[in-house]
Structure 1
């Protein structure tokens, strides 16, 4: 009897558990609860004036990714793929491109509807918006009115209670006037509204959804569909298409100014064919046009097709979890740009604690292509992220304390470190296409010791580095990487701003003393050696032909050196990374002298030894002594260099540092 009661109790508990799971998986609650999602935060979208807005009436922007034709690339229509786009890329919408022809809906109605409903389910579970795209191409949509009404009737009945479903009722109509598109759209809208009263509906526009016939025409804006709310009008562009950069560039702004809500339901970085060139500069300009107007967009396309608009490399077989090397040139750009537009802008505009009261630090940057941006202050991002644009100049000023000033210097491509600038004077260049690579900032004035200035930069390849402080270098050196953005704050002296400060700078030079050599046959070594590591070769009978030496960034002072070159004899002294020796002349180095200058010479001794043909490693030379041979016609093959504190023990024997004939 007790066993029977236990079985009944266990059965009842199972039923309760199942019912509780079923209760959780309703359309309103399907989004995974791991974190707030776009749909859980913003809910059902609407159109207010020309703007897409969220459930709170606040402007909202979709950053979506379009599938390719589901009949061809359905393997990417999976939950893991969409979660990668959501979590790694920052995408908040999936456009499900259901072709009507070309092996799509007309060929397999049930199969294609299953792919669409699967895609909506995955997006819903992930808290993403789902755009159901009736993907007509190069046709008059009126020819498909009956089928479209039947399809969207079924979709609207199914998704009428979903907050995340958007209907795109004709992808790229062409070869027909706006009046035909409008007539078709009105019938399909009526069908949807009979069931789904307020979902967003995107209407295709003439000439492959270019907001009007070719040229500066705006038929949908001049004659919109009336009597229905929450309608938007499709605009498509391809960033590298020459004709799109001639007369389409004004279309978005002009149409919005005429009162038309615009939605870029498809765009690509390639030419309009989906293939050809990818122009990242043009792509960045197009992104800025959309972002400046808060226009939503979906990029074409999520597939590994061997064409330049595809986001996944053709050699990549993964259908989710892509790393950066799995992405095409277009895919890498889109991932970077979408990540920069993530709604959690704390990545770009972090919260900094203990800002100095009544003190404002204001700054603005000159950005490649875009010119001077608007001034921002107190930790807000200046510059761009995800647009592959270099910072070229910067101005910084402080206010709130007449006894406080600020100065700054930048490391500029080709020119190196510039002189200090102060209080709103530009550092860097304009009109020369030179990137900023690093920056130092420090406070000035009678009250400078009352405050600390913190700053961090977004560097090409490395992203956001940690925060530098009070004149420390921020950025990179020796890597030819552009600065793309910057944050700056001021806090009371000694206050904890609550930010990371460990990785503030990335250097190609790994140690206190850095050096690399030009080796016979092999040329310049790819990487700098440091702090006693051998540069060159041993046992390969290869001569050293040239050398560069420089101090690490934390050592104040300099280093100078000269080499004895076959035939030419002793060369002049050079310093701080300049080449000594020759390349392309087949001349061996035979000896070298190295010494420190400035403050470094007071703090350190520099030791060095060479590997010489026939003799092997010689002993250590020091502070300008000759290392190598004289009059023996013997090549240097390798070198080691170290710094030791002034007066400390040598790293090894010193008796036989050179050999003279």
Structure 2
């Protein structure tokens, strides 16, 4: 009987630490502090972990989803263990952190605090295409948030959403190093994801000259399945083979301009590739804008986020993938 009891207890432990296919079950309380082992995210037990979830839309344009109700929906109904808060830096007409820092921080804190309460990871995304021209604001922002959330294992920092044509060697790498140093003065451990050239597609350029002397640094890859196909997977595979850790902080099932149609076949090729390489990913976007990339139907409220009847074609595919 003692032998049977020991075996039963051992099996129970194995079941408890095993991984569910449903990302919503792979929570912070289960996995704790994240770090890197080579190109892989690993949890506090040293086990590989894949994050799957949703990105919010620009905060100044979709503020109605920057609240606890929405994050509850992202976790519970979109089956996510990560959410990305896309904090606007500069917009042509509607402000952003440069013009309205207090409002942006208030929205960010609502999302981060909700994610902590919901036991999921959260990406603090500096959502800009020209962050190199706003370095002082970047340093200020990341100093504030890394002080506030220092030591909180839920936090992942994203220092530059999508650079465009900036040089990796001359502009982007020095920019990232400055921001990383600011974060590390307050938060020595949490993962930092840095944007790569060409709307965060040219991971090959970063692989040829990666950031050194720092730990837990990852590199952004963005794709939209209708536009970016095998050639980009090949580029990313080569970067991985050179030892570059990749995080897909934003992807879409549609074209790069966020328009229909949903390319289900190419999306599945991407998901298979991501899963094969244990790469984490967040879908663009928790938005009710009438465009193909939106996960939500028009006029969806925060309390309805990710409920099945309010999902678009893209949203339904993504939610199924998050729990697959």
In the alignment, does 2:135 pair up with 1:135? no
Counterpart contact for 2:77–2:306, Cα < 8 Å: no
Give the SS at the match of 1:248.
Answer: helix
Equivalent residue runs for 1:547-586 within 5 Å = none
Aligned equivalent of 1:148, options 117, 129, 138: 138
Please list the CA deviations of residues 159-210 of structure 1 after superposition, one character each: whole Å capped at 9, or x if unmatched.
Answer: 1120111100000011211011000000000011011001100000010001
Counterpart contact for 2:33–2:154, Cα < 8 Å: yes
Aligned equivalent of 2:45, options 50, 56, 65: 56
Shift of 1:316: 3.4
Paired with 2:64 and 2:127, the residues of 1 have a C-alpha distance of 18
* 1:207 corresponding residue in structure 2: 198
Counterpart contact for 2:53–2:79, Cα < 8 Å: no
What CA RMSD, in Å, does the superposition of the two structures yield over aligned residues? 1.5
Please list the CA deviations of residues 508-546 of structure 1 after superposition, one character each: whole Å capped at 9, or x if unmatched.
Answer: xxxxxxxxxxxxxxxxxxxxxxxxxxxxxxxxxxxxxxx
Paired with 2:220 and 2:154, the residues of 1 have a C-alpha distance of 18
Shift of 1:252: 2.4
Counterpart contact for 2:73–2:303, Cα < 8 Å: no
Shift of 1:246: 5.2
Higher gyration radius (CA): 1
Aligned equivalent of 1:196, options 187, 190, 203: 187
Give the SS at the match of 2:148.
Answer: helix
Equivalent residue runs for 1:153-552 within 5 Å = 153-179=143-169, 180-212=171-203, 218-241=204-227, 244-245=228-229, 247-317=231-301, 319-320=303-304, 322-340=306-324
Shift of 1:319: 3.9
Flag the 1:220–1:311 CA change in 2: closer, same or farther, 3 A.
Answer: same
Paired with 2:303 and 2:76, the residues of 1 have a C-alpha distance of 15
Shift of 1:99: 1.2
* 1:403 corresponding residue in structure 2: none
Please list the CA deviations of residues 481-530 of structure 1 after superposition, one character each: whole Å capped at 9, or x if unmatched.
Answer: xxxxxxxxxxxxxxxxxxxxxxxxxxxxxxxxxxxxxxxxxxxxxxxxxx
Paired with 1:164 and 1:316, the residues of 2 have a C-alpha distance of 27
Unpaired segments ≥5 residues, structure 2: 1-23
Give the SS at the match of 2:122.
Answer: strand
Paired with 1:274 and 1:319, the residues of 2 have a C-alpha distance of 24
Unpaired segments ≥5 residues, structure 1: 1-34, 213-217, 341-661
Counterpart contact for 2:73–2:306, Cα < 8 Å: yes
Flag the 1:310–1:187 CA change in 2: closer, same or farther, 3 A.
Answer: same
Counterpart contact for 1:174–1:208, Cα < 8 Å: yes
Shift of 1:274: 1.2
Counterpart contact for 1:159–1:165, Cα < 8 Å: yes
* 1:108 corresponding residue in structure 2: 100
Flag the 1:71–1:155 CA change in 2: closer, same or farther, 3 A.
Answer: same
In the alignment, does 2:67 pair up with 1:78? yes
Paired with 1:55 and 1:211, the residues of 2 have a C-alpha distance of 30
Count of aligned positions: 297
Q: Kindly indicate which of the two structures has a greater share of residues assigned to helix.
A: 2
Which of structures 1 and 2 has the larger relative contact order (alpha carbons within 8 angstroms, sep 6+)?
2
Shift of 1:254: 1.4
Shift of 1:321: 5.1
In the alignment, does 2:114 pair up with 1:125? no
Paired with 1:193 and 1:122, the residues of 2 have a C-alpha distance of 24
Equivalent residue runs for 1:11-90 within 5 Å = 38-90=27-79
Counterpart contact for 2:85–2:108, Cα < 8 Å: yes
Counterpart contact for 2:69–2:302, Cα < 8 Å: no
Give the SS at the match of 2:323.
Answer: helix
Normalising by the residue count of structure 1, what TM-score does the alignment of the two structures yield? 0.44
Flag the 1:248–1:125 CA change in 2: closer, same or farther, 3 A.
Answer: same
Shift of 1:315: 4.7
Counterpart contact for 1:37–1:127, Cα < 8 Å: no
Normalising by the residue count of structure 2, what TM-score does the alignment of the two structures yield? 0.88
Paired with 1:197 and 1:171, the residues of 2 have a C-alpha distance of 21
Paired with 1:315 and 1:113, the residues of 2 have a C-alpha distance of 25
Shift of 1:222: 1.1
Give the SS at the match of 1:263.
Answer: strand
Flag the 1:190–1:318 CA change in 2: closer, same or farther, 3 A.
Answer: closer
Paired with 1:321 and 1:149, the residues of 2 have a C-alpha distance of 33
Counterpart contact for 2:121–2:156, Cα < 8 Å: yes
Paired with 2:247 and 2:305, the residues of 1 have a C-alpha distance of 28
Counterpart contact for 2:70–2:303, Cα < 8 Å: yes
Give the SS at the match of 1:310.
Answer: coil
Counterpart contact for 1:66–1:301, Cα < 8 Å: yes
Q: Kindly indicate which of the two structures has a greater share of residues assigned to strand.
A: 1
